[in-house]
Structure 1
Amino acid sequence: MPRESYQEKLDALRNDVLYMSEVVVDRLRLALEAMEQKDEETAWEVIEGDDEVNELYLDLEEECIDLLALQQPVAGDLRLIASSFKITTDLERVGDLATNLAEYTLDADRDMFPEVDIQAIGATTIEMVEDAMDAYAEADVEACYNIAERDDDLDERCRQASETVMRDLIETEIDTESSESDVEALMNDVSRMLLTVRDLERVGDHAVNVAARTLYMVEKDDELIY
């Protein structure tokens, strides 16, 4: 009976991590929707919802510590608990990045850089996080490697997007009639777009981290961690 209870706790940990990922992905999706629609109400929903993500993270941290301290797991069980804890850290940071996107939405007051498809980049990052969590749920080694490979494409798209923004800035004509506030608004737009691209790229990095920890959990293989 004690061993059954222990296995139930391990299963509960995995399920709780998957639930946290669902909450985080929902926040990320809402943040992108708010950005696309300039919806301040939804943006605030994401910002205020970050407390829930933080609370989930702390609860899971305590869950992992209890399993480590009270059950003294070894081998595969130990890797499951340690990897789960690291994955929750990445999920919490994805939640923070979603909050950043929502805050950028509140600061934006005009459309800029239509040639940069933020929604497409954002959709890719959501898919990567979801697929990484599926790999964690199913102990899918092949999927872990696939996610790491897809991150190279995401990085390249983000690099091209940033270059587009900088090229547009260089080509923008600022004449003597431009007011100081106009110039400041332009620079704020550039900064906000570059930060948006950077944060989405980081979401992809966290998806790779999840895949790396899953690979280690399943096969004790640290290839993707370094």
Structure 2
Amino acid sequence: MIQRYKFDERLDKLHQEILIMSSIVEEMLRDSISSLINKDDELARKVIDRDDDVDEKEVMLQELCIKIIATQQPVATDLRTVASAFKILTNLERIADHAVNIAETTLDLMKEEYIKPLIDIPKLSEIALEAVKISIDSYVNQDISKLDAMIEKENQIDSLFRKIYRDLLNYMIEDTANIKQASRFTFVASYLERVGDHGTNIFESVHYIVTGEYRDFKDLEGVKKSK
């Protein structure tokens, strides 16, 4: 009983720390987009500086996972929960990296007048963050009932990314002077599209925790039809 209590206590700490890390990463991504919209170099540098904090937290939580496995020897669902946390932490760290990339784009374009208002890119960032939030909530609750919501977010992300890509490509075709900015904004959109992918990866880990079955969630629609 005491051993189980210690395990539950450490697992709860892991859940809480992943939520904290998720909140930090979410804030970094929001701030990076805000810095890009407002050409806020101070905010962009703040995002870049916070990357070290995320890296340190990732290492700390991975060590906690190892300690739980070594000392508590979990089995079945408990073991899958702790082992899957490694992948979740990696995906969160990579989202932070994308936020840094966007912040660096802000610094690169600080002295330039934008070729177009940034409307769709902030929308894309919000949808991608919503996908990440669904997946993190699913992890904490060990609940995969939000598959339909994840499918909707994935479809929205893919559709909006394609629109942004087409629009920016047209800007480059119309005037070669637009190539630098349009290409950088295309990269930003691709970073956000990858954020959505990381959300899907996290949900994939949750599915494995709950069912004990590994599924490749690259095609969420396909996964749904196979159920």
User: What TM-score, normalized by structure 1, do the two folds share?
Assistant: 0.89
Query: Corresponding residue for 1:178?
Result: none
Looking at structure 2, the residues matched to 37 and 113 of structure 1 have their Cα atoms a distance apart, in angstroms, of 13
Looking at structure 2, the residues matched to 29 and 144 of structure 1 have their Cα atoms a distance apart, in angstroms, of 25
Residue 22 in structure 1 maps to residue 56 in structure 2? no
Query: Corresponding residue for 2:221?
Result: none
Shift of 1:104: 0.4
Unaligned runs of at least 5 residues, structure 1: 175-182
Residue 216 in structure 1 maps to residue 208 in structure 2? yes
Match runs of 1:93-172 below 5 Å: 93-108=94-109, 109-114=112-117, 117-172=120-175
Look up the equivalent residue of 2:186 and give its one-letter code.
L
User: What TM-score, normalized by structure 2, do the two folds share?
Assistant: 0.89
Larger Rg: 1
Unaligned runs of at least 5 residues, structure 2: 219-227
Looking at structure 2, the residues matched to 17 and 44 of structure 1 have their Cα atoms a distance apart, in angstroms, of 24
Identity percentage over the alignment?
35
Shift of 1:22: 0.8
Whether contact under 8 Å (1:116, 1:161) holds in the other structure is no
Q: 1:15 to 1:144 in 2, by over 3 A?
A: farther
Shift of 1:76: 0.5
Aligned residues between the structures: 215
Query: Corresponding residue for 1:197?
Result: 189
| Aligned-residue RMSD, C-alpha | 1.6
Q: CA offsets per residue over residues 61-113 of structure 1, 9 Å max, x none?
A: 11111112222211011110011111000000000000011110111122123
Looking at structure 2, the residues matched to 26 and 115 of structure 1 have their Cα atoms a distance apart, in angstroms, of 19
Query: Corresponding residue for 2:222?
Result: none
Whether contact under 8 Å (1:80, 1:217) holds in the other structure is yes
Whether contact under 8 Å (2:168, 2:183) holds in the other structure is no
Residue 71 in structure 1 maps to residue 63 in structure 2? no
Q: CA offsets per residue over residues 145-178 of structure 1, 9 Å max, x none?
A: 4214421221121012111111121122x6xxxx
